[in-house]
């Protein structure tokens, strides 16, 4: 019995080694397709409107909340998103990805529209929670990308730039009229989020 256990052990190792070598063969191509990987990664967040508006909402909300949220949210988001991405890479099925992303647009849009000011940690946890879903959606396609690293860099950069555009738009909050415009924009994002949520739940076609 002991012998058998040992044997199983060895088999497992052989398998691991084989897989590792295979990973090596796959990675050997990684220097090729950098441009393609970057572009496909960069476009990924842009193709889903629900992704796009949720990311802009993060920037807008950060700008509304002012310091330190204005920089804390965009800096923590990529890190948490990467953790969600890891789940996607590992192929761990996360229930309700589409619902989570659609709800994130709804929730973050509502926060901006109502000019909600919860304590910082609540805002961070809320944004972080949704970041996992976004990361998972992008990360799931990472292993199949022509160049996984370039793909990852592409979608992280795109997400970051969407935050930035939200923050830049958010500088309008310096003026009273701008403040109202931003809240209106938040309302629009929330409305779109509601639509996507309804679609994700199968309420509308």
Q: How far is the CB of 1 from other proteins (least distance, A)?
A: 21
Q: Please, which residue, 85 or 109, has the CB nearer to other proteins? A: 85
Q: Please, which residue, 109 or 152, has the CB nearer to other proteins? A: 152
Give the span between the Cα atoms of 137 and 161, in whole angstroms: 18
Q: How far is the CB of 144 from other proteins (least distance, A)?
A: 11
Residue (of 65, 37, 62, 2) closest to 158 by Cα position: 37
Q: How far is the CB of 148 from other proteins (least distance, A)?
A: 5
Q: Please, which residue, 148 or 193, has the CB nearer to other proteins? A: 148
Name residues whose C-beta falls within 8 Å of residue 59's C-beta, 6 or more positions apart in sequence. 73, 74, 162, 163, 164, 165, 166, 167, 168, 169, 170
Binding site for other proteins (CB under 8 A): 12, 15-17, 19-21, 23-25, 27-28, 30-31, 34, 71, 74-79, 81-83, 85-86, 89-91, 139, 142-143, 147-150, 152-153, 156-157, 160
Q: What sign has the CA pseudo-torsion 120, 121, 126, 131?
A: positive
């Amino acid at each position: 019995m002991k012998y058998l256990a040992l044997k199983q052990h060895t088999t497992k190792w052989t398998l691991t080694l084989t897989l590792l070598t295979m990973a090596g063969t796959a990675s050997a191509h990684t220097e090729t397709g950098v441009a393609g990987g970057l572009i496909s990664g960069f476009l990924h967040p842009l193709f889903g409107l629900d992704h796009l508006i949720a990311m802009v909402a993060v920037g807008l909300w950060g700008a509304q909340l002012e310091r330190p949220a204005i920089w804390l949210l965009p800096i923590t988001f990529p890190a948490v998103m990467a953790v969600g991405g890891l789940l996607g890479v590992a192929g761990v099925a996360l229930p309700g990805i589409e619902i989570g992303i659609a709800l994130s647009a709804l929730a973050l849009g509502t926060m901006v529209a109502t000019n909600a000011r919860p304590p910082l940690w609540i805002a961070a946890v809320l944004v972080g929670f949704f970041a996992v879903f976004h990361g998972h959606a992008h990360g799931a396609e990472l292993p199949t990308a022509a160049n996984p690293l370039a793909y990852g860099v592409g979608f992280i950069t795109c997400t970051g730039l969407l935050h930035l555009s939200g923050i830049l738009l958010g500088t309008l909050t310096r003026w009273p009229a701008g403040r109202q415009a931003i809240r209106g924009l938040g309302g629009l994002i929330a409305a779109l989020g509601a639509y996507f949520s309804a679609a994700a739940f199968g309420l509308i076609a």
